[in-house]
Amino acid sequence: MKNSFEIDSDCLDIVKRLKEIDKDYFVVYNIERKVFELHNRAQKYNTFCLTLPFDSLDERTLFLTKKTLSEKRDELFKEIEEENARNLKVKSHRILNEAEARLYDC
C-alpha cells in the first residue's frame, strides 16, 4: 500500500490481540491521512475494514473491532436505528420549540 505501512507490533499488544479475534486482521498506518486502519487479508478485492478514530492503538481499538464484527451486524444496525430515532426526536423538538418561539415573537 502506497503511503502506508503495516504495524507488526505495539507496546500494548493490540495487533496481537486483534489477530486473536481474526487471524487475518492487520493494522496499517496511513501516512497521508495520519490514521490507523484495520484490514483483513481474507476479504476479496480490498482488505480495508475501517478507519480507527483514535490517535493510538489501545483498548478502544479492540472494543470497536469487536463491535463491528459481521456476526454483530443485527445488533449494530439496531443500535444505529435507535440512535437515528433519538436524533430525529431531538431535532423535531428543537424545530417545534423554535417555531413556537417565533410565533410568540410576532
Bridge partners, 4 (sequence order): 30
Exposure of 76 by Cβ count < 10 A (0-12 exposed, 13-18 middle, 19+ buried)?
middle
pLDDT (0 to 100) of residue 78 = 75
pLDDT tens for the 106 residues of the chain, in order: 679 999 999 999 999 999 999 999 999 999 999 999 999 999 889 999 999 999 999 999 999 998 877 665 676 667 778 889 888 988 988 888 888 888 887 6
pLDDT (0 to 100) of residue 98 = 86
pLDDT (0 to 100) of residue 25 = 94
pLDDT (0 to 100) of residue 81 = 82
